[in-house]
């Protein structure tokens, strides 16, 4: 029997999602819980498991296409009798299984014993799953290439001609021919880590190692190559304009930034500081056994300084509701991250309760997931204060826009050698610029100055973090 898998709601309020990458092609055999597709919502990239076992009949949506929740995206032939005779009861059971197979990324609770193990998400409950009610869709005709059933507020979705997708090699076929396959980057973990640390995109390199794998020498050669040549290669000759659809993360970010910029009265204060002692502290931390397998960067001490500052000035870690000011006595520290899909701000939950090694590990794991586009919706909500590290782009500072629901955001500029007066003598020191934007409805100029001053004082002399923690 031919089964259709419809795009599920993987997050509260989800109305549509973009098909990022198919992991299967028509003719492939699939099993229950096998990851078959990656979708991009307004908050994150999520993998979906297959609720059926059988053979893929057709991929009904191309990579790069945006579809509404409830629209069919793949059809699977489960064979005669499916999982056994059972008539309408068996069909109802399989339909319930298809509903429950969607990973519930809204809950961060660990899997319980009554759930069936799956690769991602939280598994299948043995009891019924409560889901947001939807209007029923009309049944689709049972054909080899079925068209989509009508979905509320959306036209029928049928197998579509291929649309160029990000990195796709060809169209999605519904007649059993090969689906697009994306080349995988071959590189050993140490090489991947080196590329990440140096900011080199492995997908742009041609490997010279065994089987075309990328080596350390390839990464170092790419870093030494002139930047203008790489940039010029992205400007296609003869193309005067490019139209980029606004959707997914970029669309959600744009809406959030407009809402924040035109609702909260922003004030930005600046402070230039000598961080020579902080850089020395970072160097010494890297030699400690507690940080042996953890990336230690100046951002770690900036984060610790900001957490300490808001503990001293709790009103900077609050939310304005219009009726009241909600002061948070915990810190969910947001880290703004620029990704290929746009700006996202995942956050470290309860960062104030972490030791320095724990915070370093959490920051490293969070930024790695953000760059890979694997942050879960729970990691992208509930932040209380944010850091944006614009220094990685080689600029001194900026005027950051508040993350919606927060009243302060700290921008950190590049660290560079500058002349500085030390004990009455001119010296070359490590200097950076801090910029703190705050919501003037909650944080007045005095409080904002105190927060910025405290962060700067701790970065000039890291021992103050111990004294004030």
pLDDT digits (tens, 9 = 90+) for 223-255: 655 444 344 446 677 787 888 777 766 777 777
Task: Say yes or no to pLDDT of 259 above 90.
Answer: no
- pTM score, two decimals? 0.56
Active-site pick, 23, 83, 266, 440: 440
Sign of the C-alpha dihedral computed for residues 243, 249, 250 and 256 taken in this order: positive
Mean pLDDT of 386-411: 92
Residue 110: pLDDT band by 50, 70, 90 thresholds?
A: very low
Look at strands 385-389 and 333-335 and give their pairing.
parallel
pLDDT digits (tens, 9 = 90+) for 26-76: 999 998 888 899 888 766 777 888 888 899 999 999 888 888 888 999 999
CA distance 379 to 363: 12
Beta bridge partner(s), residue 387: 335, 410
Is residue 438's pLDDT more than 90? yes
Q: What local confidence, expressed as pLDDT, does residue 239 receive?
A: 80
Could you tell me if 70 and 154 are in contact, meaning their C-beta atoms sit under 8 angstroms apart?
yes
CA 274 – CA 393 distance, rounded (Å): 20
pLDDT at 385: 96
Q: What is the crossing angle of helices 356-372 and 298-312, to 10°?
A: 110
Residue with tokens 């930024």: 367
Q: What is the pLDDT of residue 245?
A: 78
pLDDT greater than 80 at residue 106: no
Distance of alpha carbon 358 from alpha carbon 346, whole angstroms: 17
Q: List Cβ neighbours of 416 (8 Å cut-off, separation of 6 or more).
A: 430, 431, 432
* Residue 23 bears catalytic tag: no
DSSP-derived 3-state class of residue 200: coil
Give the integer Cα–Cα distance in Å for 12 and 346: 17
d(CA 455, CA 298) in angstroms, rounded, equals 13
Question: How big is the CA angle at 141 (ends 2 and 88), to the nearest 5 degrees?
Answer: 60
């Amino acid at each position: 029997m031919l089964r259709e898998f419809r795009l599920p709601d993987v997050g509260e309020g989800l109305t549509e999602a973009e098909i990022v990458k198919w992991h299967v092609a028509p003719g492939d055999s699939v099993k229950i819980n096998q990851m078959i597709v990656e979708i991009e919502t307004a908050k994150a990239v999520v993998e979906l498991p297959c609720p059926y076992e059988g053979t893929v009949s057709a991929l009904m949506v191309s990579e790069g296409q945006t579809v509404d929740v409830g629209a069919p995206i793949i059809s699977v032939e489960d064979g005669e009798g499916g999982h056994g005779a059972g008539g309408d009861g068996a069909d109802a059971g399989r339909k319930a299984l298809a509903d429950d197979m969607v990973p519930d990324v809204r809950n961060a609770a660990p899997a319980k014993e009554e759930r069936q193990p799956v690769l991602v998400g939280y598994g299948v409950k043995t009891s019924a799953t409560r889901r947001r009610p939807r209007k029923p869709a009309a049944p689709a005709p049972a054909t080899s290439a079925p068209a989509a059933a009508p979905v509320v507020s959306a036209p029928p979705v049928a197998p579509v001609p291929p649309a160029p997708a990000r990195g796709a090699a060809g169209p999605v076929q519904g007649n059993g021919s090969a689906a697009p396959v994306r080349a995988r980057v071959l590189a050993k973990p140490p090489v991947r880590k080196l590329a990440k640390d140096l900011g080199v995109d492995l997908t742009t390199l041609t490997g010279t190692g065994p089987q075309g794998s990328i080596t350390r020498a390839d990464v170092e050669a790419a870093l030494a190559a002139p930047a203008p040549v790489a940039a010029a290669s992205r400007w296609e000759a003869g193309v005067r304009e490019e139209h980029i659809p606004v959707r997914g993360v970029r669309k959600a970010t744009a809406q959030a930034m407009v809402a924040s910029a035109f609702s909260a009265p922003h004030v930005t204060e600046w402070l230039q500081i000598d961080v020579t002692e902080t850089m020395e502290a970072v160097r010494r931390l890297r030699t400690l056994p507690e940080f042996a397998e953890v990336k230690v960067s100046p951002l770690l001490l900036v984060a610790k300084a900001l957490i300490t500052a808001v503990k001293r000035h709790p009103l900077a870690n609050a939310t304005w509701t219009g009726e009241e000011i909600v002061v948070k006595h915990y810190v969910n520290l947001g880290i703004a991250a620029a990704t290929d899909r746009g700006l996202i701000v995942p956050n470290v939950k309860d960062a104030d309760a972490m030791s320095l090694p724990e915070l370093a590990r959490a920051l490293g794991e969070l930024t790695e997931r953000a760059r890979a586009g694997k942050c879960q919706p729970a990691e992208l909500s509930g932040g209380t204060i944010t850091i944006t590290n614009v220094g990685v782009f080689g600029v001194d500072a900026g005027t950051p826009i508040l993350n919606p629901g927060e009243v302060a955001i700290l921008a950190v500029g590049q660290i560079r050698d500058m002349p500085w007066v030390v004990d009455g003598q001119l010296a070359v020191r490590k200097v950076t610029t801090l910029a703190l934007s705050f919501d003037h409805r909650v944080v007045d100029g005095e409080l904002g100055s105190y927060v910025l001053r405290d962060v700067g004082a701790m970065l000039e002399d890291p021992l103050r973090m111990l004294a004030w923690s």
